[in-house]
Amino acid sequence: MNIYHCMIELKDDARALGFAAAVDGWMSYLQAQGLIRDWRLMRRKLGLASSAYRDFLLEISVVSLSDLDATFSALAHADPEAEQRYDRMHMMIASVETGLFRPYPDPTQRERIALI
């Protein structure tokens, strides 16, 4: 399992509940298409976090890196419904920082696998 983390800050005029509904529309669409396994949206509680953290954290689960690659490829050729759902969500976002994580320790110990 791989977790794609998105730390998100909204635009000043965006509403949190509207954003949550738009994320649900977009992520549910991706999940229904079989492009992602699962997702969850979290909001910073009581503003408690260091300055490196944003207001929202979106976690998107995919089984493997090849699944993530297939998702990005599918989205490059998205249909009008997908574009509309994405735009509805994305227009509220001021900034995003992303990262890709996996459970650790990993049974395959990928740190040992290298070309050099």
The three-point CA angle 74-4-71 to 5° equals 10
Write out pLDDT tens, residues 64-107: 888 888 888 888 888 899 999 999 999 999 999 999 998 887 76
Could you tell me the pTM of the whole model? 0.85
Kindly list the structural domains of the chain, giving each domain's residue range(s) and its CATH number in brackets, ordered by start: 2-105 (3.30.70.100)
The answer to whether 46 and 70 have CB atoms below 8 angstroms apart is no
Token pair 């260091």 in the structure block, residue: 50
> What sign does the dihedral 7-10-11-12 (CA atoms) show?
negative
